[in-house]
A and B are shown apart, each in its own frame.
Chain A
């Protein structure tokens, strides 16, 4: 068996495509992890507090859903009163306030942004408080103090205007009546901070690229098996003392080694680029990558061996990559998807690794057992299905 492992390793190490994946996939993933960005589509939109935007160009559509009325506020006033007004507006429940605070914002910027980014966004109304907001408000100069840019045909815009007016009327209210809101069903159990949501999105994208690498590493190993079957090498091997099981276990070990190589490459890149601030330690993320690698390289190895055709295996691997990444929610959250899609999503391995990422964020120690169970379960299913497929293919012959 060791001779099979050795010879297969030699063949794949000579393969340029293999090295391409070993070098490129971890590199791209590391770069994604290093590139801090706002992935607002992963934010938890069920929160009730005011959403603070990090830049003027941020799209706010992801903070709403089900036809929520979204308000984007450009606040240059730095005043306590604007804070109070927005707080009150948000409390009304009908509106969702997203604010960008910066004392430098000028009307021209706002106008430019309105025609540019905000044109495409799903905004109910844009509100602009300029620098002299406090002064104008005290002087009763409301026209100058509050500028509303209505961005939809929504009838609720009138309610917004009315609410603003009534808030101004009750200046400095001290509430003697307490309000409490209870929302039922489907509340996200793990509340992630904005930074954690961003990190989760990054990890998701990195996983997507790595999955592709692992799938092709497996395909390349299976390629050696296909070639050996076609060249009758396989028949000759079977004439020696090596059994069929030993042969395939050998291939399986090589695909494991290939995923270890990719993980090591990832570790090296992370050390070189000094990747940090992912919300968890490097070892934890590398552990997840390794386990995911085992699943996917085994999967594509099985696809290759059963299909006995490199071309079909390639197409299938690509398809599997596309569909599984999509369905597991690596690119966007599937929280609002229908039941059928959620069920399909639960079958995808990457979904569980995203779940594990969240668990690592909140320091849930059950994560190790879950990861272990998931990996073992997928490996068992893949290997037994592969074995069955192989048997069927042989019987057909």
Chain B
């Protein structure tokens, strides 16, 4: 009998194809949004390739004598400065693919930077500002000494000035979390989040139950509550496992998510969905209303996700560690992200054991609720 029920429920689940599709593609869609939204913020600095910048010098300016020095300093950093006289720096940057444009005037300089080349622009600004600071310093020194000859002192020479390097600070290298890209973070996290929404897949089973008034029929059958519970739990686990596997593979091949230890991570995802299913079925058998169940499950998962790093990364979330630890999603998220970025994690054990514990506890309550209800109505 139970085997027949399982078979029938699998059929019901897979016939509800819209839900299954939703379940496979919704995480991919949400993932794509978050990855894109946070890509620039979570981007890692990878150094800058060689690039070109444009400049012009007004005749008679303080920079006229210094421009070669500035160009040399730029060159050392892999930046080639090209002399171009233009009235429209923005166009000049866009047309030539420059990292920026510098206008050296009489007693001032103007940096034109493009947001398309933000990293390059920052480097350019740094080098030019530093050079100008040196020039300024030299001019001051020269003025103080009233030695006008020294006005053209070599910038490079000053940079190598020993007095600069003599000053030592206390410098220590600290441990820090390796940078995770938004692709890896949200690619992993949303598979876990959707594993917690697995109750969605049960819509088919529950609508058919309601339609044919099966709950009452089960009560007069020879099936016990545990069997009824398993007849829902086992098929939905199978369907969810396959769906999540498909979305995981899509995330890997279409979005380029790195999972690190895929097997271990998937074990965590699976145990999360077991917990979510048990939670959903428990609430359903207590309230006997799918609407209430969905609202409660989604609300609960949303709160757990909020504190567990589903929306704002758990690294940057300003919530105390003890609150985060309460959320099972935090354990799972952290374990999988650390597996991806570091290759190992202390949270694997707690993630799996916490979720399995929830799965077990909810299953017991679900079966008990069924038994109590049956007795009450018998």
Chain B residues within 8 Å of A314, by CB: 290-291, 294-295
Residues A65 and B172 in contact, CB atoms below 8 Å apart: no
Determine which of B118, B139, B206 lies in contact with A66 in the assembled complex, contact meaning CB atoms within 8 Å. Answer: B118
Interface membership of B238, Cβ < 8 A: no
Set of chain A residues within 8 Å of B126, measured between Cβ atoms: 92-94, 159, 163
Taking CB atoms and an 8 Å cut-off, the chain B residues in 23-53 that contact chain A are 26, 29-30, 32-34, 36-47
> Which chain B positions have C-beta within 8 A of A312?
203
When the two chains form their complex, are residues A318 and B119 in contact, meaning their CB atoms are under 8 A apart?
no
Once the chains bind, are A310 and B114 in contact (CB under 8 Å)?
A: no
Known: A93-B125, A341-B33. A114 touches B171 (CB 8 A): no
In Å, the complex CA distance between A239 and B315 comes to: 63
**B318 interfacial contact with A, CB 8 Å:** yes
0/1 interface trace, chain A 35-79, chain B, CB 8 Å (1 if under): 000100100000000000000011101101111110000000000
Give the CA-CA distance A168 to B163 in the complex, in Å.
Answer: 10
A141 CB, nearest partner CB in chain B, Å: 10
Pair A332/B311 contact, Cβ less than 8 Å:
yes
Measured between alpha carbons, how far is A180 from B89 in the docked complex, in Å?
14
Residues of chain A contacted by B161 (CB below 8 angstroms)? 169
- The CA of A179 and the CA of B294, in the complex, are separated in Å by 59
The answer to whether A57 and B136 have CB atoms under 8 Å apart is no
The answer to whether A93 and B129 touch (CB under 8 A), given A65-B41, A327-B33, is yes
For the complex, give the distance between the alpha carbons of A243 and B316 in Å: 57
A319-352: contact bitstring with B at CB < 8 Å (1 yes, 0 no)? 1001100110001111011101100100000000
- CB within 8 Å for A315 and B167 given contacts A65-B43, A176-B136: no
> Are A185 and B115 interface neighbours, CB within 8 A?
yes
| Chain A residues within an 8 Å CB radius of B41 | 61-62, 64-65, 336
Per the bound structure, the CA–CA distance linking A149 and B171 in Å amounts to 6
- Kindly name the residue among A142, A151, A154, A165 whose own CB sees the greatest number of chain B CB atoms within 10 A: A165
User: Which B residues are CB-close (under 8 A) to A118?
Assistant: 174, 176
CA distance A145 to B33 in the complex (A): 45
Cβ of B373 under 8 Å from chain A: no
Q: Looking at the assembled complex, report how far the CB atom of A194 sits from the nearest CB atom of chain B, in whole angstroms.
A: 15
CB of A364 to closest CB in B, whole Å: 24
Q: Is the CB of B316 within 8 A of A144?
A: no
A166-B130, A315-B294 known; A66-B111 Cβ under 8 A: no
Among B102-110, B257-265, B277-285, B355-363, which stretch is in contact with chain A?
B102-110
Residues of A within 8 A of B311 (CB): 331-332
Contacts of B176 in A (CB 8 A): 118-119, 123, 151-152
Q: Are A143 and B90 in contact (CB under 8 A)?
A: no
Is B111 within 8 A of A179, CB to CB? yes
Contact of A93 among B122, B175, B177 (CB under 8 A): B122
A115 is an interface residue with CB less than 8 A from chain B = yes
B347 sits at the interface (CB 8 A): no
| B177 surroundings in chain A (CB, below 8 A) | 119-120
Interface centre among B33, B89, B136 (most CB of A within 10 A): B33
Closest to B315 in A: A120
CB B85 to nearest CB in A, in angstroms, measures 17
Given contacts A59-B316, A120-B177, contact A156 B135 (CB under 8 A): no
A338 surroundings in chain B (CB, below 8 A): 36
Judge if A126 is at the interface, Cβ distance under 8 Å. yes
B298 touches A150 (CB 8 A): no
* A residues in contact with B169, CB < 8 Å: 142-143, 145-148, 161, 164
Majority secondary structure of chain B interface residues (helix, strand, loop or mixed): helix
**Contacts A67-B45, A166-B133, A323-B30 given; does A182 touch B36 at CB 8 Å:** no
Closest to B103 in A: A180
Chain A residue nearest to B125 (CB atoms) is: A93
- A33 CB to nearest B CB, Å: 17
Question: CA A144 – CA B206 in complex, angstroms?
Answer: 69
Partner of A336 from the list B39, B132, B200, B318 (CB cut-off 8 Å) is B39
B288 to chain A, nearest CB (A): 14
Q: Which one of B32, B110, B130 contacts A163 once the chains associate, using CB atoms below 8 Å?
A: B130
B294–A143 CB distance below 8 A:
no
Which chain B residues lie closer than 8 Å to A93 at the CB level? 111, 121-122, 125-126, 129
Contact yes or no, A142 B168, CB < 8 A: yes
Q: Which residues of B contact A162 (CB under 8 A)?
A: 164
Q: Contact: B36 with A337, CB < 8 Å?
A: yes
Give chain B nearest CB distance to A149 CB in angstroms. 5
B137 to chain A: which residues have CB within 8 Å?
169-170, 173
Q: Is the CB of A178 within 8 A of B108?
A: yes
Say yes or no: A180 contacts B290, CB within 8 Å: no
B62 at the interface (CB under 8 A from A): yes
Q: Is A122 an interface residue (CB 8 A)?
A: yes
Say whether A175 contacts B136, CB under 8 Å.
Answer: yes
Give Cα A144 to B22, complex, Å: 60
Chain B residue nearest to A143 in the complex (CB) = B170
Closest CB of chain B to A157's CB: distance in Å? 9
Interface residues in B315-340 (C-beta closer than 8 Å to A): 315-316, 318
Is the beta-carbon distance between A62 and B316 smaller than 8 angstroms? yes
Report how far A148 CA is from B173 CA in the complex, Å: 8
Contact between chains at B107 and A177 (CB < 8 Å): yes
Residue of A nearest to B123 (CB): A94
Among residues of B, the one whose C-beta sits closest to the C-beta of A313 is: B291
The verdict on A58 contacting B113 (CB below 8 Å), with A94-B126, A177-B132 known, is no
**B225 interface contact, C-beta 8 A:** no
Interface residues of A (CB under 8 A from B): 17, 38, 41, 57-59, 61-62, 64-69, 91-94, 114-115, 118-123, 126, 142-152, 154-156, 159, 161-166, 168-170, 173-187, 216, 310-312, 314-315, 318-319, 322-323, 326-327, 331-334, 336-338, 340-341, 344
Give 8 nearest A-B pairs by CB, closest first.
A93-B125, A67-B45, A94-B126, A178-B108, A120-B315, A336-B40, A146-B169, A65-B40
Please name 17 pairs of A and B residues whose Cβ atoms are closer than 8 Å in the assembled complex, sorted by A: A59-B318, A118-B174, A118-B176, A123-B176, A142-B169, A144-B170, A149-B172, A176-B136, A180-B109, A183-B121, A323-B30, A326-B33, A332-B37, A333-B37, A336-B37, A336-B38, A341-B32
B residues adjacent to A (C-beta < 8 A): 19, 22, 26, 29-30, 32-34, 36-47, 62, 89-90, 93, 107-116, 118-119, 121-123, 125-126, 129-130, 132-137, 139-140, 161, 163-165, 167-177, 179, 200, 203, 206-207, 290-292, 294-295, 298, 311-312, 314-316, 318
